[in-house]
Amino acid sequence: MNSIRIKCPAKINLTLEVENQRDDGFHNIKSVMQLINLYDYLDISVEKSDSTLIELTGNNPELPYNEKNLVYKAADLFLKTTGFENYHIKINIEKNIPLSAGLAGGSTDSAGTILGLNILFGNILSKEKMNALCASLGSDLNVCLEGGCLLATGRGEKTEKLPFVSMPVTLIKPKNLGISAKEAYTKYSLKTNKPKYNKTEKIIEALKHGKEIKEFLYNDLEYAVFGDYKELQHIKSILPSSIMSGSGSTYFVLENSNQEFPQDYQVIKDLHFIPDGCSAE
C-alpha cells in the first residue's frame, strides 16, 4: 500500500470551561468534546525518492500549502520521529470544515495525517506514541484521533472517554467571521468577572445516567467574545438555545433546525454525533 484516504471529522464543544493560564501561555481547560459527521478528507501517497519532500495540495485557496500548515508539520514530525528519510509524501486536503470556526478543522487534519502515515508505514507507532505526537502539535488533535465523546483537560490534549449518545446537530456560522483561539482566550483573560458554573461536571453526570444534556451546554469563550460581534448576537437572537463551539465563530444546536438565516450565514444541517475519530476510508 502506498496511498490511503483518511476521513477527518469536526468536533464541537458541548462545554468549554477555562481553568487558568499556564506558564507556557496556554490555558488549562475542562471541556466535553464530541465528534460529528462533517469531514475533511486527506488523500495521502508515499513514494521512495532521492530526498525527503512533503507536497501539499487542496481545494481551499485560503490555506497555506507549505510548512505553515499543520498537516505539513504533522508529516514532518512523523518522519523525524520514525527516522524515515528519502520519501516523497503527497497530501491533498479536501476541505469541507469551515476555517477559523471552532470546529478543529486544522487539528483533525493533522491528526489524520499522523494516522494515515502510520498506516502506510506499517503501523510503526503505537496508539500511545501517536497520541504523544498529537499532543506536541496542538490542543485538539488527541480528541480528533480518539473520537466519540470525550472529556478534554490540560490544554485539550488529555482525554477521557465518556458515554456516547446519538444526537442531531445543526451548525450556523457567519461566513465572513473567523475568531482565533488567541483572540478568544486573550479576551477571556481580560474579563474581571469569570463565573464558574461547573457545567462540565454536570453534563458528565447527565451522560453517565442517560439524562438530557441540553441544559448544561456552555462555553466560557462565548462569554468572552459575544459582546464584540453582532453576528454572534444575531445567531443567539434567532436560536436562543444555540452555543458557540470552541473559540468560534460557529454556533450549534442539538436538533435538526430548519430556521432560516441570511445569505451571509452558512448553515450546515442534518449532522449527528459519531462514535469515531479520524479513520481510513
Mean pLDDT of the region 75-82? 98
**Domain residues for 217?**
1-281
Beta bridge partners of 174: 265
Cell numbers that stand for 166 in this block: 446519538
Q: Could you tell me whether strands 15-21 and 27-48 are parallel, antiparallel, or unpaired per DSSP bridges? A: antiparallel
Q: Are 209 and 163 in contact (CB under 8 A)?
A: no
Would you say 30 and 151 are in contact if contact means Cβ atoms under 8 Å apart?
yes
Q: What single-letter DSSP state applies at residue 129? A: H
Could you confirm whether 11 is annotated as catalytic? yes
Q: Indicate which CATH number applies to the domain containing 190.
A: 3.30.230.10
The pTM (predicted TM-score) of the whole model is 0.95
pLDDT in tens, 171-220: 999 999 999 999 999 999 999 999 899 999 999 999 999 999 999 999 99
Q: Is the model's pLDDT at 64 over the cut of 90?
A: yes
Instruction: Decide if pLDDT at 23 tops 80.
Output: no
Q: 40, 140, 173, 199: which one is catalytic?
A: 140
The conformation of residue 201, written as its DSSP 8-state character, comes to H
In Å, what is the CA distance from 11 to each residue of 158, 194, 200?
Answer: 15, 25, 16
Nearest by Cα to 4 from 90, 109, 88: 90
**Number of domains the chain is built from:** 1
- pLDDT attached to residue 20: 73
pLDDT class of 25 with cuts at 50, 70, 90:
low
Residue 23 annotated to the active site = no
Handedness of CA 120, 125, 127, 131 (dihedral sign): negative
In the structure grid, which three cell numbers stand for residue 69, read together? 500548515
Dihedral angle over CA of 164, 166, 170, 171, nearest 10: 20
Burial (Cβ within 10 Å: 0-12, 13-18, ≥19) of residue 258: exposed
Q: How many CA atoms lie within 13 A of 56 on its CB side?
A: 26
Maximum Cα–Cα distance across the chain: 59
Q: Beta 279-280 vs 3-13: how paired, if at all?
A: antiparallel
List pLDDT tens digits, range 114-145: 999 999 999 999 999 999 999 999 989 999 99
Residues 263-268: contacts with CB within 8 Å, 24+ apart? 264/174, 264/175, 264/176, 265/172, 265/173, 265/174, 265/175, 265/231, 265/235, 266/98, 266/171, 266/172, 266/173, 266/174, 266/175, 267/170, 267/171, 267/172, 268/38, 268/170, 268/171, 268/172, 268/173
Please tell me the predicted confidence (pLDDT) of residue 86. 96
Q: Read off the C-alpha cell for 90.
A: 503527497
